[in-house]
Structures are given as C-alpha cells and as structure tokens.
C-alpha cells in the first residue's frame, strides 16, 4: 500500500511555488505531481492527474479565483481534496472557501510541520484549519449569517449598487414607504443603523448577489 500523498500546487507567484516545492520535497511522504499558476490550470491538471490533494491559493490574478477553482475541481471527476493555503483570513474568504467544499484552510504563516500534517489530514478527508481560522469558524457558528427575506435581499442588492429609496422603489415596483420599512428590518438584522454600514457588512459577509 502506497501512503505517499500526491499533490498539485496552485499559486500565481512563481517564487512562492518554487519555495513550496522545495519545502515539500523535504517530506518523503509527499509527492508533487503538478503545479499550476492559474485556477483554470489547476482544474485541468486535477482532472488529468487525479491528485490526493490540491494546495490552493485564493488570489490567483486574472481568471477564476481559488474559490471558483475549488468548486470546479470538486464538481469534476475523481475524489481529490482541496486544501487552501493563503495569507487571507477574513470571515468572507474562509466562508466562501469552505462553502465551495475545501477540506481545509491553512495560513501561509504556519510552520512546515503543520503544513505537512494538514496535507495528510486533507488527503484522508479530515478537516484541517489553522488555529486563527478555527477560531473564526467557531465565532461564525455562534453568530450565523442573518436570514434575509427575498424582498430584503432584493433591496440590499439595490442598496449595494448605490441606489436611493426612490430608485429602489421604482426598480422593485413598490412604494418608498415599503422600502423604508424593509430597510429598518435589514439594519436590525445586520446590526447597523446606516445605509453605508449595511453595505459594508453586506460586502464583508458576501451577502450581495
């Protein structure tokens, strides 16, 4: 039985990829079978090589980002797992990656031993999270995303486009009074009391469509 973990590295920075390849080569139980500089390349390589794990950065320059690449990889053939390795640890980034199906989320500041362990965990289908990420996930579970009605979501989306009450009312074929009523409920659910505050929270928590 071969316990070697077959891995693809996806990062848009050549120097970062080179550093990772050098680091990973120090672990005889990990074999890098391919490297990609874009999300599209990662999707194609994964479909062809069927690695155990894809080590995925989130920000990949032009083209699809790491979240969309993760989504496409997991929707494709094979049973590869995706382990995010990034410098970004915002709630929005973590939530998007996990919702896309990533098995783990690791920060680039982690020590090599923790990276190796996370790769093996991901290969086995076990979650692997950096401590700061795990803390954020737990906090999010204790404070879940607000549940907006369809109409509230419509109005929030219009708000995100910079529309005023009159423009929103016209776009949605409702009265300005109705818009104001819904805005009050939206503010309450988001814990804000201004339009700018609502838009800021909506962008941070990826609530806009």
Confidence of residue 95 (pLDDT cuts 50, 70, 90): confident
What pLDDT score was predicted for residue 172? 95
8 A C-beta contact, residue 101 and residue 122 = no
Please report which helix (H) or strand (E) contains residue 193, including its range: none
What pLDDT score was predicted for residue 138? 72
Mean pLDDT of the 73-98 span: 86
Class for domain 150-205, per CATH?
mainly alpha
Q: Which residue has the higher pLDDT, 167 or 96?
A: 167
Q: Tell me the C-alpha distance between 55 and 44, whole Å.
A: 14
Residues of the chain with CATH 1.10.10.10: 150-205
% of the chain with per-residue pLDDT over 70: 95
Sole residue written with tokens 């990990």: 30
Mean pLDDT value across the chain? 90
What pLDDT score was predicted for residue 1? 45
- Residues whose CB falls within 8 Å of the CB of residue 2, separated by 6 or more in sequence, listed in order: none
What pLDDT score was predicted for residue 20? 94
Q: Which fold has domain 5-142?
A: Rossmann fold (3.40.50)
Which residue, 26, 31, 80, is CA-closest to 53?
80
Above 50 in pLDDT, residue 15? yes
- Assign residue 96 a region (left: φ > 0; alpha: ψ between -120 and 50; beta: otherwise): alpha
Mean pLDDT of the 49-57 span: 96
Mean pLDDT of the 167-180 span: 95
Question: 167: buried, middle or exposed (CB in 10 Å: 19+, 13-18, 0-12)?
Answer: middle
Note the maximum CA span of the chain. Answer: 69
Per-residue b/e over 64-82, b at no fewer than 16 CB within 10 Å?
A: bbbbbbbbbbbeeeeebbb
What pLDDT score was predicted for residue 142? 65
Phi, psi of 171 (to 5 degrees): -65, -35
pLDDT tens string 115-168: 999 999 999 999 999 888 887 777 666 666 678 898 999 999 999 999 999 999
Q: Which residue has the higher pLDDT, 117 or 99?
A: 117
Above 50 in pLDDT, residue 10? yes
Residues of the chain with CATH 3.40.50.2300: 5-142
């Amino acid at each position: 039985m071969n316990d070697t973990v077959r891995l693809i590295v996806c990062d848009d920075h050549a120097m970062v990829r080179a550093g990772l390849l050098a680091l990973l080569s120090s672990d005889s139980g990990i074999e890098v079978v391919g490297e990609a500089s874009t999300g599209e390349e990662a999707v194609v390589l994964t479909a062809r090589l069927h690695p155990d794990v894809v080590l995925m950065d989130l920000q990949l320059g032009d083209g699809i980002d790491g979240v969309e690449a993760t989504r496409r990889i997991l929707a494709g053939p094979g049973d590869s797992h995706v382990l995010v390795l990034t410098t970004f640890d915002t709630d929005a980034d973590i939530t998007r990656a996990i919702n896309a199906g990533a098995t783990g989320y690791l920060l680039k500041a982690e020590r090599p031993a923790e990276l190796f362990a996370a790769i093996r965990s991901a290969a086995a289908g076990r979650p692997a999270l950096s401590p700061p990420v795990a803390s954020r996930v737990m906090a999010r579970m204790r404070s879940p995303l607000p549940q907006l009605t369809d109409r509230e979501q419509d109005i929030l989306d219009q708000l995100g486009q910079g529309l005023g009450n009159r423009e929103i009312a016209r776009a949605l074929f409702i009265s300005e009074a109705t818009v104001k009523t819904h805005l009050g409920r939206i503010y309450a659910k988001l814990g804000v009391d201004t339009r700018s505050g609502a838009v800021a929270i909506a962008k941070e928590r990826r609530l806009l469509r």
